[in-house]
Chains A and B, each alone.
Chain A
Amino acid sequence: MTRNYPDEAVGGFPRPPRETTDDEGRSIVVGHATELDALVELYVDFDPADRAQGIPPVGEDAIREWLERITGTDTVNMTARHDGRVVGHAMLVGEDEHELAIFVLQAYQNAGIGTELLRTTLGAAAADGIERVWLAVERWNDPAIALYRRVGFESVDNPDFEMVMTLRLETEA
């Protein structure tokens, strides 16, 4: 599929690893995902209401299978950790164009972690030479859409259920 991307590239995203304090005063470390089991744990704990378009899947086996598929070569997987526990995960999967998704545990939402995780993931992608990033978001999901707009995503005209947004990255590779 060919999607339209903004002409202007967006840059200046931070590279991992990063250590920040969230709006609740919690110390958060953002870095590349290192072990699959920690991600499985995150998604087993995930609130079903926060699922998006069928992911994460339900049940540990399905979650593991899905994670194995999206953590291969040419993918970017970034985690946000608090006290060693993974509380957020962002991923980029694709070939010419990379699809983005981000999940944050409910107890850690609305504290700036999503923004930090997203920005750092885009920084890692720019360093990897990834230029085109897209995502699909449910049209009613205003907080997510606002977050994506803030970092530079623009919505694309499309007839699907979901809003599609794209971003052209200024690559650093």
Chain B
Amino acid sequence: MVGVDGTERAMETLSESVERARASGDDLTVAVYSGADPVSVVETQVRDRLGALEYDAPVDRLEGHPGGTLVERAERGEYDRIVLPGGTRSPLGKLTFDSTVKFVLLNAHTSVTLIR
């Protein structure tokens, strides 16, 4: 399950995950949630990107607390791995994690992959 909030980094994470899923034959689901843009805009962006990559994957909207929902759904056994963009850089280069990444890292019992 790849979490995408519509940021540039998240879209790159999506592209990279599609490439890996193709190579490995893994199933991939995209979970979209709102970042700077509302979730509907993110969803359109994601469907466009999947179209451009000619890859068919289910796209789920996450409403409410995205970190909590990602963890909960993985917990129910629907997914065995959560993939997220691996942090942004502060102006002077420090790595920072947004609250969703932080929540998932601290709470998920599945493997979590951060793409950099």
- A positions within 8 Å CB-CB of B: 52-55, 57, 66, 69-70, 91, 93-95, 98-99, 101, 136, 159-162
Q: Whose C-beta in chain B lies nearest to the C-beta of A65?
A: B93
Q: A160-B102, A161-B102 are in contact. Are A93 and B97 (CB under 8 A)?
A: no
B91 within 8 A of A: yes
Cβ B93 vs Cβ A160 within 8 A: no
Q: How far is the CA of A98 from the CA of B97 in the complex (A)?
A: 19
Q: A159-B102, A160-B102, A161-B102 are in contact. Are A101 and B92 (CB under 8 A)?
A: yes
Q: List 5 A-B contacts (CB under 8 A).
A: A53-B95, A66-B93, A95-B91, A159-B99, A161-B97
B76 within 8 A of A: no
B96 within 8 A of A: yes
Q: Which of B96, B98, B99 contacts A136 (CB 8 A)?
A: B96
Contacts of A99 on B, CB cut-off 8 Å?
A: 90-92, 94
Cβ B99 vs Cβ A93 within 8 A: no
Cβ A160 vs Cβ B97 within 8 A: yes
Cβ B93 vs Cβ A55 within 8 A: yes
Q: How far is the CA of A69 from the CA of B93 in the complex (A)?
A: 9
Cβ B91 vs Cβ A162 within 8 A: no
Q: Which of A54, A98, A161, A162 contacts B93 (CB 8 A)?
A: A54
Shortest A159–chain B CB gap in Å is 5
Contacts of B102 on A, CB cut-off 8 Å?
A: 159-161
Q: Whose C-beta in chain A lies nearest to the C-beta of B98?
A: A160
Contacts of B96 on A, CB cut-off 8 Å?
A: 53, 136, 160-162
Shortest A89–chain B CB gap in Å is 11
Shortest B56–chain A CB gap in Å is 36
Contacts of A101 on B, CB cut-off 8 Å?
A: 92, 94
Q: Which of B89, B92, B97, B98 contacts A91 (CB 8 A)?
A: B92
Cβ A93 vs Cβ B94 within 8 A: no
Q: How far is the CA of A101 from the CA of B94 in the complex (A)?
A: 9
Q: Which of A93, A161, A162 contacts B92 (CB 8 A)?
A: A93
Cβ A52 vs Cβ B94 within 8 A: yes
Q: Which of A69, A70, A160 contacts B99 (CB 8 A)?
A: A160
Cβ A136 vs Cβ B93 within 8 A: no
Highest count of chain A CB atoms <10 Å: which of B89, B90, B96, B97: B90
Q: How far is the CA of A57 from the CA of B92 in the complex (A)?
A: 12
Top 7 nearest A-B pairs by Cβ distance? A54-B95, A53-B94, A93-B92, A159-B99, A94-B91, A93-B91, A55-B93
Q: Which of B94, B97, B98, B99 contacts A55 (CB 8 A)?
A: B94
Known: A66-B93, A98-B91, A160-B96. 8 other contacts (CB 8 A): A53-B90, A53-B94, A54-B94, A57-B93, A70-B92, A95-B91, A99-B91, A161-B102
